[in-house]
Structure 1
Amino acid sequence: MNPREPKLSFQAQLQTGSPEDWESLWKADPHAVFFQHPAWASALTAAFPKWSLHSVVLTQEGEPVGLLPYFEFKKLGARQIVSLPFGTYGGPVQKPLPEDFAGAAAEAMVSCLANEASRLARFEMTVGPTSNAKQAALLQHFGNHQEPAHTHLIDLSQGFDHLWNKAYDKETRTCVRKAEREGVTVSVERGGAALDELHRLYLIQSQAWGTAPLDREVLGRVMDTLGERASLWIAKRQGQTYVGVLTLTDGEKEIIPWVSGTDPEGRRFRASHILYNAMIEDACNRGYASMNFGSSAGNPGIEAFKVSFGAERTELLKFSFEAAWLSKARRLKGALRGGR
């Protein structure tokens, strides 16, 4: 090694709370997304005050060069950690480093987390498209606990006209025009009444999809904490709300439809089509690079809807393990609920 090159000396240690260099590290990492931003951690802390935020902080000769944030909480009496909850993905954030050093940096962070996770009853982490160095370190330590995961991404970089003419399928364009003729309008709203409408529709949709909804209070705290980073999109016809979507954004790179709800009656007017079309056009005008449309929960109809707007399925790295006794306790709890 050339003596003038920086020494390969990384130190990883656990830290409680939000590291002060988090945002600067996030901005430096070309692969970082909103769910790895400190604003998202702040929103989760406000929504779930009993949860504890921690990070693996990586330094090189005293200077922060990376971190891996996660939340720790207890359920059924068991310590559990997730990086990061209720988002598409979490995982490490790292400054660009020379290739020879990047692998050692990622290894130091991931091995520190793996050591901590080995003491817990449950661990979960989902990582999006990332560098080869991070991927190699993650697979080395957690590869035995990998499971399938994906999201859908829309590339906004070529602008709305390109998406409308080249990426949307013909039927989607027809549906948007039908919604316009039917008098469906789209607006961005704030306030308790709009949130009430979203949550009402969200409960209807969650029941239809068989998913567990978040409380209205949780959604409200997330919106209040994120401020302008959170927007509530509403589609109405003749004063009736048919679709609501809560979006999140880092204000620079991407927009994420995070929570949504739909009245089945709105399908007749193609209310969802016109709402997402307006959202995508607005995101393009703001210069965002992508829209993270999320996974499809194994539902072919949902996936087809997302693909019709030009979304591409993107595979993720998901790692999860759970102690046998906790799995048994969770199944028992579910059975007891089902028997009520």
Structure 2
Amino acid sequence: MSAGASLKRRLGATPGDQRPLRVTSPVPVDVWEQVLASAPNALPSQTPTWLRCVCTVTGYEDVSRLYETVDGRRLVLPLVRRPRLGSLLAADFGLPVGWGPGGLVCEGGELRPEDVRMVIADLAQRHVLSTLVRPDPAAAATWEAVVPTSVLRERRMTQTVFLDGGFDEVWRKRFRSDTRNRVRRAERAGVVVECDDTGRLVPVFHQLYGESVDRWARRDGLPLPLARRLAARREPHRKVQTVAAMLGSRCRTYVAYHEGRPVSAIVVLLGTRTAMYWRGAMLEKLAGPVYANYLLHKTAIADAIEAGCTAYNMGDSARVSSLELFKSRFGAVSQDYACYRMERVPITPLVERARGGVRRILALRSRE
């Protein structure tokens, strides 16, 4: 029995489950926008514009799926696929690494367990090599309660600052006292933050990102040429440029300057009610002593509140890490969630073993 058939058998049919009346792929843009209009808590990474960014930069094709249920509801699942491989070799992503969460966008905004069960059953019966779904972390409990234990899981943790009550409330009750002090120290040190939503500051971000890649390589013991090649593949210059051009005012680049020099930058995406901190880079030796990153995020959070957002998603972090601690200083709440991978053949364990071997070889070479 194939893995897909086994999964379908495990899901089974239970009373009250919905079956899709119709499945359409790719999702018509106008229908997707209609679903989004009734789901204001959708993430910026769950929009058709975002999927176009992914396809433009990566060369993937849009294989998003629209589910229409018998009770008249519509659900959208963002998915992309590398073209020209054929369905039997195809790997679908919702969404690829570096592009944020995908998951289901539901008409009316309410995700039900039967919605997840219906979609997992649909994905399991398709003749593709693998499918990866990375849901909105806010819906983690609904997904985890329904997805069978036989489905591979990649455990993650994200952090979100909730913005209800306005900036004064967030500043006084969610920012830690040492965070407020660091923001003030940044201002006294003369740190200045500039915000742009036209793409003008994207080259400044890339300049700082290149410096960050070199710093990460030295920290991890990777040869600089290799680290730079990997970064160029993972984060090509056209990536942020394309997002800034296609999202317009919904993509904001913040740059912190000290003594006239850019020392740190972040890229923030705006949804209807959720802002997402998407990318960051800095000159650590210059930005750290003047607490530039604290002033950057304080400014972005204040702007998100002014734009009507009720949450500021700061992205994934490793547990008990300096990044987790930094985000918690702004009052970010941790949320565990999982990515789900359905495979017709067990390729993930093989890939993980191969990656582990490469990492061990690089570690040995770095000690020579």
TM normalised by structure 2 equals 0.77
Q: CA RMSD in A?
A: 3.4
Q: Percent identity?
A: 21
1:152 alignment partner in structure 2: 159
The answer to whether the 8 Å contact 2:91/2:128 transfers is no
- Offset of residue 133 of structure 1: 5.5
Structure 1 residue aligned with 2:46: 36
- Asked whether the 8 Å contact 1:121–1:326 carries over to 2, the reply is no
CA positional deviation for 1:167 = 1.2
Distance 2:335 2:109 in 1: 25
Structure 1 counterpart of 2:316: 295
Equivalent residue, structure 2, for 1:186 = 193
CA distance in 2, matches of 1:302, 1:131: 22
- 1:15/1:55 contact within 8 Å kept: yes
Mapped to 1, the partners of 2:209 and 2:162 lie a distance apart of: 27
**What residue number does 1:200 align with?**
207
- Deviation, structure 1 residue 8: 6.0
CA contact (8 A) 2:159 2:327 kept: yes
The one-letter amino acid paired with 1:257 is Y
SS of the residue 2:160 aligns to: strand
Aligned to 2:90: 79
For the structure 1 residues 18 and 25, does the alpha-carbon distance in structure 2 shift closer, same or farther, using more than 3 Å as the test? same
> Partners in 1 of 2:260 and 2:66 — Cα distance?
51
Give 1:319 shift.
Answer: 1.6
Letter of the structure 2 residue corresponding to residue 93 of structure 1: V
Matching residue's letter, 1:128? P
CA shift in 2, pair 1:18/1:72, >3 Å: farther
1:1-340 aligned at under 5 Å gives the runs 10-13=20-23, 15-16=25-26, 18-29=28-39, 32-48=42-58, 50-60=59-69, 65-73=74-82, 79-85=90-96, 86-96=98-108, 102-116=112-126, 119-121=128-130, 123-130=132-139, 134-137=143-146, 139-140=147-148, 144-189=151-196, 194-209=201-216, 213=231, 214-250=235-271, 252-264=272-284, 265-298=286-319, 300-320=321-341, 323=347, 324-327=349-352
Q: Which runs of 4+ in 1 moved over 6 A?
A: 74-77, 332-340
Q: For residues 58 and 38 of structure 1, what CA distance do their matches in structure 2 show?
A: 15
Distance 1:84 1:222 in 2: 15
- The answer to which of 293-302 and 144-153 deviates more is 293-302
Query: For 2:79, what is the secondary structure of its paired residue?
Result: strand
1:307 to partner: Cα distance: 0.5
Q: Once the two structures are superposed, what CA deviation does each residue of 1:246-288 show, in whole Å capped at 9, x if it has no partner?
A: 11112x2111111110111111111111111111111122221
Change (3 A) 1:218 1:336: farther
In structure 1, what residue type is equivalent to 2:92? I
SS at match of 1:293: strand
**d(CA) in 1 for partners of 2:321, 2:84:** 32
Q: Is the 8 A contact 2:176 2:329 kept in 1?
A: yes
Asked if the contact 1:16–1:54 (Cα under 8 Å) also holds between the matched residues in 2, the reply is yes
Aligned-partner SS, 1:130 = helix
More strand by share: 1
* 1:4 aligned partner: none
Counting matched residue pairs gives 328
Contact 1:127 1:318 in 2 (8 A): no
Q: Distance in 2 between matches of 1:88 and 1:26?
A: 17
Q: 1:67 to 1:12 in 2, by over 3 A?
A: farther
